[in-house]
Chains A and B, each alone.
Chain A
């Protein structure tokens, strides 16, 4: 096991961190969340793309390439750094679509979509979830694409979908004759309507995507009809591993700031940090935090290496991180006292980020179901 990051990776992380700190500190993220339609300026995303944010999971033939040879591990560094500053931007969604296209797209599809995504001029998103259904697993998708000659007609609702309003391309997971099939759908296709939802994460946008008689041809198919199960599983693993990295970054940052606060804040003549009960709580939280990093690293590595057990490890990570990151952040709120529940304090932004990631693409409970199912239970 190689837990060390290479020098190149360290440099990449450092570059990402510096760029985020200088261009999008949390105060800026707050401003953008109020005045930018997508939660960020388009040019900022393009500059991030220049740093490699959108090319790590794309093959070199399509203009992509990784830092270390393991693009997912590299991308997890970006996700973690974005978690630290509750950064906006469709990092997970754009990358999972880019990876899927790079792996399974036709030459025409790759040429049509990937340059824009890699260059940061356009973004994409994955439409998996459906209202009222589990967020992952065999029951997640019920949307049927009806055959009409050699064409397919989609009618239904996908949601919540992150970054749907700003996405130029939608990767839609549906069923044809009851079997999973994926379509790459330009957002401008007639019948596609994006209905914004009020999300809990202020920095990012979610929406329902309404599909009303959206008619697609064979050129929109990603891979073969009815043969997308493995693709969908792979995409889920990639997204969930990155979600864990993002949550890990967010909770690590806020834990660090809470420890600093405990040293600065005095009550009854002593620093909060000197009280035994609080020391014990910080020790508990530190333990969970280290385990969050460890299980995330394990999941990222396994998914990156396409191991057979990646499905299990990624669900273990999501289950553990989703549960414990929230517990730690709630305790950070408690330890801050009254200031922790104010709008002005950054805590709620972090709690929002983690709560949203915990729910999207499978709650901890749903991932425990996946683990149990994988064990034959």
Chain B
């Protein structure tokens, strides 16, 4: 496959990312999967190699290049190696949370946070979802009441990726509970603030090396200097960043699908039945051909979307299209690739079993397939 998306710098960066995955991620994946979380040191190791905060200006310790293609390369390398769970924290840190800081931090906040974000000393998370609200952000009930220079935060968030490891949590709160969208603001909550408690590391179907947690806020006093941007602008800020978040998930989806396809191909070439490799049976051959075609088609669309994001022209609806299509593809390819493995595919020692379980949430998080279709449908005027 030839892709026109990348130039030489990106390919050099890919080499670094690939070495990082081989040296710092893969050797620990089994342990992290059983512990339900990656070592915090993983972020520092990534930071040291320049794999965090590529878009952060150089004076703050970052790469100084705001080019989502670098994020894409790192995201792909993690997922092409099957590190869906172990890599997710890094991808979330770079692709999904950092943009809020870059876009809305004032000078003081930049000095305070960006160096740690680039070095991996400060791990990021974003807290939007609450129990029972899903994508209906306007219905959130976490409140932040201002008293002088301090906000007092009360409420709870759930399904928070990096929930245990995170040091800075960009948290959506209601600063004006009487208003719907316009009452939402973004506050940065920091590790160690009194009343900021973490719940369980949630037990999930897949993504076991990824810490996903509930967060509880009981009269947490947050200084007003931790507001991101202007009070009341939270909903606009969240919506503004969603296309990149969704495209990032789409990029992961295609790379993860490619990983599953590779597993299936290897298996079908090596395993024989009735005297011939199973890949030579017409059914497996057609199926593999179909999956390979679907992956290539999805890759072409995602690459175009990445180009558009870099050029600043990616629309919310095209990001939504990429998100639902590529994650549904990931699920389909994982499912069929597992089927081709027969009984072995169901054994957890075979990587396809883990890839299958990891795939399931991707059509849900970052906005479900159904929400994506709502967005696309509305853009069509229907």
Interface residues of A (CB under 8 A from B): 275-277, 280
Give the chain B neighbours of A277 by CB distance below 8 A: 282-283, 286
B287 to chain A, nearest CB (A): 9
Give the chain B neighbours of A276 by CB distance below 8 A: 281-283
B2 to chain A, nearest CB (A): 30
A134 and B189 alpha carbons, distance in the complex (Å): 55
Q: Mark B261-305, 1 if CB is under 8 A from A, else 0.
A: 000000000000000000001110010000000000000000000
A-B pairs, top 8 by smallest CB distance, nearest first, are: A276-B282, A277-B282, A276-B283, A277-B286, A280-B283, A276-B281, A277-B283, A275-B282
Which residue from chain B places its CB closest to the CB of A280 in the assembled complex? B283
Known: A276-B282, A277-B283, A280-B283. 4 other contacts (CB 8 A): A275-B282, A276-B281, A277-B282, A277-B286
Interface of B is mostly: helix
A277 and B282 alpha carbons, distance in the complex (Å): 6
A276 and B286 alpha carbons, distance in the complex (Å): 10
A277 and B286 alpha carbons, distance in the complex (Å): 8
Give the chain A neighbours of B286 by CB distance below 8 A: 277
Which residue from chain B places its CB closest to the CB of A275 in the assembled complex? B282
B131 to chain A, nearest CB (A): 26
Give the chain A neighbours of B282 by CB distance below 8 A: 275-277
Which residue from chain A places its CB closest to the CB of B283 in the assembled complex? A276
A174 and B340 alpha carbons, distance in the complex (Å): 58
Which residue from chain B places its CB closest to the CB of A276 in the assembled complex? B282
Which residue from chain B places its CB closest to the CB of A278 in the assembled complex? B282
A280 and B290 alpha carbons, distance in the complex (Å): 15
A275 and B283 alpha carbons, distance in the complex (Å): 9
B206 to chain A, nearest CB (A): 30
Which residue from chain B places its CB closest to the CB of A277 in the assembled complex? B282
A98 and B282 alpha carbons, distance in the complex (Å): 54
Residue pairs across A and B with Cβ atoms less than 8 A apart, 8 shown, are A275-B282, A276-B281, A276-B282, A276-B283, A277-B282, A277-B283, A277-B286, A280-B283
Which residue from chain A places its CB closest to the CB of B287 in the assembled complex? A277
Please, how many residues of chain B have a CB less than 8 angstroms from a CB on the other chain?
4
A158 and B282 alpha carbons, distance in the complex (Å): 52
A359 and B370 alpha carbons, distance in the complex (Å): 28
A333 and B286 alpha carbons, distance in the complex (Å): 20
- For A275, A277, A280, the residue with the greatest tally of chain B CB atoms inside 10 Å of its CB is A277
Give the chain A neighbours of B283 by CB distance below 8 A: 276-277, 280
A238 and B283 alpha carbons, distance in the complex (Å): 42
A276 and B281 alpha carbons, distance in the complex (Å): 7
A228 to chain B, nearest CB (A): 35
Give the chain B neighbours of A275 by CB distance below 8 A: 282
A277 and B289 alpha carbons, distance in the complex (Å): 13
B276 to chain A, nearest CB (A): 12
B229 to chain A, nearest CB (A): 42
A345 and B283 alpha carbons, distance in the complex (Å): 29
A80 and B283 alpha carbons, distance in the complex (Å): 34
Give the chain A neighbours of B281 by CB distance below 8 A: 276
A280 and B283 alpha carbons, distance in the complex (Å): 8
A125 and B22 alpha carbons, distance in the complex (Å): 75
A272 to chain B, nearest CB (A): 12
B322 to chain A, nearest CB (A): 28
B291 to chain A, nearest CB (A): 15
A279 to chain B, nearest CB (A): 9
Which residue from chain A places its CB closest to the CB of B281 in the assembled complex? A276
A162 to chain B, nearest CB (A): 32
A277 and B280 alpha carbons, distance in the complex (Å): 12
A280 and B281 alpha carbons, distance in the complex (Å): 12
B288 to chain A, nearest CB (A): 12
A277 and B281 alpha carbons, distance in the complex (Å): 9
A280 and B282 alpha carbons, distance in the complex (Å): 10
B278 to chain A, nearest CB (A): 11
B211 to chain A, nearest CB (A): 39
A124 to chain B, nearest CB (A): 40
A263 and B374 alpha carbons, distance in the complex (Å): 47
B277 to chain A, nearest CB (A): 14
A104 and B283 alpha carbons, distance in the complex (Å): 57
A277 and B283 alpha carbons, distance in the complex (Å): 5
Give the chain B neighbours of A280 by CB distance below 8 A: 283
Q: Mark B151-178, 1 if CB is under 8 A from A, else 0.
A: 0000000000000000000000000000
A283 to chain B, nearest CB (A): 11
A284 to chain B, nearest CB (A): 12
A277 and B290 alpha carbons, distance in the complex (Å): 13
A276 and B282 alpha carbons, distance in the complex (Å): 6
A275 to chain B, nearest CB (A): 6
A364 to chain B, nearest CB (A): 20
Which residue from chain A places its CB closest to the CB of B284 in the assembled complex? A276
A261 and B286 alpha carbons, distance in the complex (Å): 22
A258 to chain B, nearest CB (A): 18
A280 and B286 alpha carbons, distance in the complex (Å): 12
A275 and B286 alpha carbons, distance in the complex (Å): 12
A275 and B282 alpha carbons, distance in the complex (Å): 7
A139 and B283 alpha carbons, distance in the complex (Å): 47
A273 to chain B, nearest CB (A): 13
A276 and B280 alpha carbons, distance in the complex (Å): 11
A268 to chain B, nearest CB (A): 12
A34 to chain B, nearest CB (A): 41
A107 to chain B, nearest CB (A): 53
List which B231-286 residues lie within 8 A (CB) of chain A.
281-283, 286
Which residue from chain A places its CB closest to the CB of B285 in the assembled complex? A277
A254 and B282 alpha carbons, distance in the complex (Å): 25
Q: Mark B322-347, 1 if CB is under 8 A from A, else 0.
A: 00000000000000000000000000
B17 to chain A, nearest CB (A): 39
A236 and B247 alpha carbons, distance in the complex (Å): 48
A191 and B111 alpha carbons, distance in the complex (Å): 86
B273 to chain A, nearest CB (A): 12
A275 and B281 alpha carbons, distance in the complex (Å): 10
A204 to chain B, nearest CB (A): 34
B343 to chain A, nearest CB (A): 20
A270 to chain B, nearest CB (A): 11
Which residue from chain A places its CB closest to the CB of B286 in the assembled complex? A277
A203 to chain B, nearest CB (A): 37
- For B281, B282, B286, the residue with the greatest tally of chain A CB atoms inside 10 Å of its CB is B282
A276 and B285 alpha carbons, distance in the complex (Å): 10
A325 and B286 alpha carbons, distance in the complex (Å): 24
